[in-house]
Structure 1
Amino acid sequence: MRGLQRRLAEFAAARDWGQYHTPKNLAAALSVEASELLEIFQWLTPEQSAGVMADPESAHRVEDEVADVLSYLLQFCEVLGVDPLAAVAAKIERNETRFPPAP
């Protein structure tokens, strides 16, 4: 994870994009990319959505949007000093307390 964050930071720095990578801008970009991922599934039935990866063109689109979402999330975390894996682990622990297993 850290290696990807470092690579993304180097990519942005080489293009002088750091000035645009504010928390607000990265959060907005993350939202846009998540919406682009959603757009792929927007009018599919549940069955069609489950099979989206069987079509090479759709699979490529999904993978590209997943990459964009993760890239912006990692950059967002880097800018704010959030450890994404620690944040997920902490959230799972809170949810295990909030939502006990079904009997």
Structure 2
Amino acid sequence: MDIDDWRRQLRTFAVQRHWEQFHTPKNLAMALSVEASELQEIFQWLTPEQSFQVMSGQRACDVEDEVADVMIYLLRLVDILGIDLERVVAAKISRNASRFPPRGLSPS
């Protein structure tokens, strides 16, 4: 996955359509939330077992589309805000590893 390439492609796509005026942090955060909610809606009312089977059913393409939409809006948001996504994800994983050690082990 080349995040920087995807960011450039999405930036170009927005520029070519004159959408930059709409791609404010507020609007992108709201759109990201809406798309995440649309993903959530697919799983609403499913049992845990059914949720694990969703990708072998009729809604698999819907899940893929919503996941892509979430990622696209997230990439546009981090691009607009100048966030280094790889750096902040790596830092968060590291913090989480310290905060939530494996069961039975004490924090280092």
TM-score range, shorter-chain basis?
Answer: over 0.9
Greater helix share, 1 or 2?
Answer: 1
Total equivalences in the alignment: 102
TM-score norm. by structure 2 comes to: 0.92
- Equivalent residue for 1:33, pick from 30, 35, 45: 35
Q: CA RMSD in A?
A: 0.7
- Mind listing any 5+ residue stretches in structure 2 that lack a counterpart? none
Counterpart of 1:2 in structure 2 is 4
* Aligned structure 1 segments of 4 or more residues deviating by more than 4 angstroms: none
Classify the secondary structure of the residue corresponding to 2:59.
Answer: helix
The whole-number CA distance in structure 1 between the counterparts of 2:74 and 2:84 is 11
State how 1:1-103 maps to structure 2 within 5 Å. 1-55=3-57, 57-103=58-104
The whole-number CA distance in structure 2 between the counterparts of 1:90 and 1:54 is 34
- Mind listing any 5+ residue stretches in structure 1 that lack a counterpart? none
Residue identity opposite 1:3 in structure 2: D
Q: Percent identity?
A: 61
